[in-house]
Structure 1
Amino acid sequence: MSSFLKVLGGAALSAALVMGAAVARAETLTDALIDAYKNSHLLDQNRAVLRAADEDVARAVSALRPIIDFAISGRYQDGNTRSPSQGQYSSSAQAELTARLTLYDGGNNRLAIDAARESVLATRAALVGVEQDVLLSAVRAYMDVFSAVQNVSLAENNVRLITQQLRAAEDRFEVGEVTRTDVSLAQSRLAASRSNLVAAQGSLAVAREAYKRAIGRYPGVLSGIPRFPALPQSTDAARAIAVKTHPDITRAQHNVTVAELNLGRAKAAMRPSITASAGVVAEDDGGEYGTVGLSLNQTIYQGGGLYAAERQARTGIEQARAGLLQTVRLVEEEVGNAWSSLAVARAQLAATGEQITAAELAFEGTREEARLGARTTLDVLDAEQELLDARTARVQAEATQYVAIYRVLSSMGLLTAEHLGLGIPTYDPRAYYNAVSNAPAKSIQGKQLDKVLERIGRN
């Protein structure tokens, strides 16, 4: 219990710091988004996935290059009673250097390179999707902390106000203007308001932990509601942008291309391949000779496996194309849902503004009428509770509106560090790709690759 109170105490202290922002520089939503982008382990994980996909291109490129092998072999033979050369032995050793190069493979290796490149582009699009999720989570975390802080402040003000109401009821009871029931009602409401304050402080503590997970650190002094980012004028305009820019659609398009290239590879597997080889052999007796070879290979029958692979590739194309169409439909649905959520949030915000105005007038009027004896203590407490509920609803409506705005951006594929203009260096997926796509040998181009990896590590 004591540890929980410490957590609540820390949350209350954070609320006090946020509401008294004169002592420190206020933290903006942009600051939170920047830190979320820099500190995200999820982004680091998926960047590593992308670099692994880059290496698939390098491996495909290496298949077009010669393979050079070096081998040393030795042989020793001992004589025995059954050998014609009884009691004699012989030994031999040789070193061999060979090189093999595929001259023609029906285009399989070239298609493999193209497929690997398309897979890289699909993985890049997936990384953009992860970036959107990270930034949207940061927006939610920021607004959750901001609304939780405001709710704590409202709860604290409510406790102070009801405490004053209780004192006034006790004073009026002393002079016989109210009954013991009125005092008990005020005491009951005070206990309930204190309970609400503890609950609000607990919600703030939870929001702070979610903030740390999304941003990478605990929140400081929040600056408040940020400016609205620009949005299209209509749902149709948003959908049109989403179809062109959403990373899920881009990834699905590249997956279709990969499937089509895989069909070409399945067909190429039925064609012949030509391989050239050359080698040098040195023996222990001083002999040395070279070899040159050219081989033609053609699979005539494989039990139907080649044709099964071709049919499987065709179904892969159908699957990828259907997945693309379904992704477009899902993205369009998400745009519509996000736009509707934003419209609802805006309507709720406007309604809560009217609710607060009416509740304030009702509370002031009820309190004044109670002083004149026309209203009871319960009426005043009820009016105050309605005002608190209205203010709390507005806090939630403000947070919901801002999350809905950034959700619309995410549904269009525009919730990225670059589009938001965060003003920070962003991860360049081409740097590592350019360093490894030509399959560099570590011993020759290792220093350049090390520099790229070091720069990626710093980012």
Structure 2
Amino acid sequence: MRTALALTLLASVATPLGASAMTLPEAIVLARRANPGLAQVQAQSDAASARLTQARAGRLPSLTLSAESASGTTDLSGFFGFGQSDVSPRAASLQLRQSLFSGGGVSAAITQAREGKAAALAQVGGATAMLSAEVASAYVGVLSAQDMVALSRAQLAQMETITSQAQLRFKSGEIPRTDLDQATARLAESRAGLARAEGQLARSRAHFVSVVGAEPDGLEAVVSPPATPASLDEAIAAASESSPMLLAAQAAERAAQAGVRYAKADRLPSLALTATASTARDQFFPGYSADGVTVGVQGRWTLFSGGAVSGRIDEAGAALRSAQASLNSAQARVRETVIVAWGDVATARAVILAATDQASAATSALDSVRNEVRVGQRPVLDLLDAEREALAAQSGLVTARGEVTISSYRLNALLHGQ
């Protein structure tokens, strides 16, 4: 109940008239439509899909048409009974080719491209989830800044009232000059605090526009943060299965393994079935014509390449070792970041409970001090200190409330691609 109270306490300032309300999920949708960073990652994923299409084409037949046409003069000097003649040589051929055996190169290329696509999709999921966390941070930043402006304005109004009352009491001789000077100083402090809060609100709004692509007008309060794993072990288990960072590294390793097989395929022969239909006119002398159809098998086997094939195999092996090292590093990084992120969520939840109690106690103490100062039992300085403590407690609650939401989105971004 205390958590629910803390999440609803200090709601954002009223929605401006005429402004449409926006929720955090709606802000996330807007950001996904126009974020340049996400668009770049999605374009890379599209390129990976295109590479898979190209690789799969190696298993399909190809049909090639070639043709040429020219005009000129030939002089055969009486050979075959031909002298000087105008000719229009023309030739065309249509070839159908189907690969029969490639030493495993085509299969390896398809596997490499497929795993490359899987890695790209994982990166898109990770970028999307991280963008959601960034939007949540910007969204909560605006709400918190609005709350701080509202608190600062209320604090300034209280300080103006206290200072005005202190001036009257000083003129009547009820309080010393020191109390009036302290009240005046705290009034100036409140004005400076309001200026800082308004400046922070302007920065938060600008950051929101940069991330989401829309003005943060009429943001609705975040009632509850997204659900997260109940324990650290559950969080680590979820990350091991679906962390975008880990999935991308695993796919990259499998792609590198396929790259080694693809390089080794160059050492083996390749076979292809071909069928060709051709026609030629005036190709050698006037009136010459030839038409033909051939069906056969073409073979190719590189027996010596000067070390080029061995070099490609060594390069692919080095790429595989690099991918394996990257996978090991990703596993360690995912575990570390999940532990830290889950700890941030647990800490934020504990802090918001304490901040709720602190804000409630500070508000109650402030009411008591106001009454005691009003009847002359406490000096004005005590009221000024109580006002400051109440503002600090309420500000801490605002910050804690935002941290629960932000840390929850960050943890989920590490666990699941969205």
Question: How high is the TM-score relative to the length of structure 2?
Answer: 0.86
Q: What is the aligned partner in structure 1 of residue 6 from structure 2?
A: none
Q: What is the aligned partner in structure 2 of residue 259 from structure 1?
A: 256
* 1:115, distance to aligned residue in structure 2 (A): 1.7
Q: Distance in 2 between matches of 1:313 and 1:132?
A: 32
Are 2:283 and 1:289 equivalent residues in the alignment? no
Deviations 1:163-189 (A, max 9, x none): 000110111012111233332322222
Q: What is the aligned partner in structure 2 of residue 32 from structure 1?
A: 27
Q: What is the aligned partner in structure 1 of residue 116 from structure 2?
A: 119
**Stretches of 4+ aligned residues off by more than 6 angstroms:** none
* 1:224, distance to aligned residue in structure 2 (A): 1.4
Match for 2:378 among 375, 379, 389?
A: 375
Change (3 A) 1:349 1:92: same
Q: Are the counterparts in 2 of residues 140 and 403 from structure 1 also a CA contact under 8 Å?
A: yes
The DSSP-based 3-state class of the residue aligned with 2:268 is: coil
* 1:260, distance to aligned residue in structure 2 (A): 1.4
Q: Distance in 1 between matches of 2:243 and 2:188?
A: 51
Q: Are the counterparts in 1 of residues 16 and 218 from structure 2 also a CA contact under 8 Å?
A: no
Match for 2:341 among 320, 325, 338?
A: 338
Deviations 1:399-422 (A, max 9, x none): 0111111222122116x2xxxxxx
The within-5 A match list for 1:369-408 is 369-408=372-411
Q: Distance in 1 between matches of 2:275 and 2:235?
A: 59
Amino acid in structure 1 at the alignment position of 2:139: Y
> Pairwise CA RMSD of aligned residues?
2.6
Amino acid in structure 2 at the alignment position of 1:32: A
Amino acid in structure 1 at the alignment position of 2:290: E
Deviations 1:362-404 (A, max 9, x none): 3333333333444333332122111111110110011011111
Q: What is the aligned partner in structure 2 of residue 180 from structure 1?
A: 177
The within-5 A match list for 1:166-315 is 166-275=163-272, 276=274, 278-284=276-282, 285=287, 287-290=289-292, 292=294, 294-315=297-318
Q: Distance in 1 between matches of 2:90 and 2:58?
A: 28
Q: Are the counterparts in 1 of residues 103 and 270 from structure 2 also a CA contact under 8 Å?
A: yes
Q: Distance in 2 between matches of 1:63 and 1:195?
A: 70
Deviations 1:400-458 (A, max 9, x none): 111111222122116x2xxxxxxxxxxxxxxxxxxxxxxxxxxxxxxxxxxxxxxxxxx
Q: Are the counterparts in 2 of residues 18 and 221 from structure 1 also a CA contact under 8 Å?
A: no
Are 2:78 and 1:76 equivalent residues in the alignment? no
Q: Are the counterparts in 1 of residues 69 and 89 from structure 2 also a CA contact under 8 Å?
A: yes
Q: Distance in 2 between matches of 1:74 and 1:132?
A: 61
Amino acid in structure 1 at the alignment position of 2:26: D
Q: Which runs of 5+ in 2 are unaligned?
A: 1-10, 76-82
Q: Distance in 2 between matches of 1:230 and 1:379?
A: 43
More deviation in 224-233 or 244-253? Answer: 224-233
Amino acid in structure 2 at the alignment position of 1:365: S
Amino acid in structure 1 at the alignment position of 2:154: N
Q: Are the counterparts in 1 of residues 224 and 405 from structure 2 also a CA contact under 8 Å?
A: no
Identity of aligned residues (%): 30
Q: Are the counterparts in 2 of residues 138 and 215 from structure 1 also a CA contact under 8 Å?
A: yes
Q: Are the counterparts in 1 of residues 104 and 265 from structure 2 also a CA contact under 8 Å?
A: yes
* 1:273, distance to aligned residue in structure 2 (A): 2.0
Amino acid in structure 2 at the alignment position of 1:96: A
Q: What is the aligned partner in structure 2 of residue 428 from structure 1?
A: none
Q: Distance in 1 between matches of 2:226 and 2:404?
A: 12
Are 2:85 and 1:99 equivalent residues in the alignment? no
Q: Distance in 2 between matches of 1:319 and 1:303?
A: 26
Deviations 1:133-178 (A, max 9, x none): 1111111111111111100000000110000001101110121112
More deviation in 146-155 or 334-343? Answer: 334-343
Q: Are the counterparts in 1 of residues 225 and 404 from structure 2 also a CA contact under 8 Å?
A: no
Match for 2:128 among 128, 131, 135?
A: 131
Q: Are the counterparts in 2 of residues 28 and 226 from structure 1 also a CA contact under 8 Å?
A: no
* 1:264, distance to aligned residue in structure 2 (A): 1.2
Question: How high is the TM-score relative to the length of structure 1?
Answer: 0.79
* 1:282, distance to aligned residue in structure 2 (A): 2.1
Amino acid in structure 2 at the alignment position of 1:146: L
Deviations 1:263-320 (A, max 9, x none): 1111111111234352402214361222536432211111112112222222322222
Q: Distance in 2 between matches of 1:202 and 1:132?
A: 29
Amino acid in structure 1 at the alignment position of 2:100: L
Q: Are the counterparts in 2 of residues 339 and 408 from structure 1 also a CA contact under 8 Å?
A: yes
Deviations 1:72-130 (A, max 9, x none): 14363577xxxxxxx95664412222315243322212321222122112111111011
Are 2:362 and 1:362 equivalent residues in the alignment? no
* 1:18, distance to aligned residue in structure 2 (A): 5.0
Amino acid in structure 2 at the alignment position of 1:20: A
Q: What is the aligned partner in structure 1 of residue 50 from structure 2?
A: 55
Q: Are the counterparts in 2 of residues 43 and 130 from structure 1 also a CA contact under 8 Å?
A: yes
The DSSP-based 3-state class of the residue aligned with 1:269 is: helix
Q: Are the counterparts in 1 of residues 126 and 414 from structure 2 also a CA contact under 8 Å?
A: no
* 1:342, distance to aligned residue in structure 2 (A): 1.3
Amino acid in structure 2 at the alignment position of 1:98: L
Q: Distance in 2 between matches of 1:197 and 1:171?
A: 25
Q: Are the counterparts in 1 of residues 45 and 117 from structure 2 also a CA contact under 8 Å?
A: yes
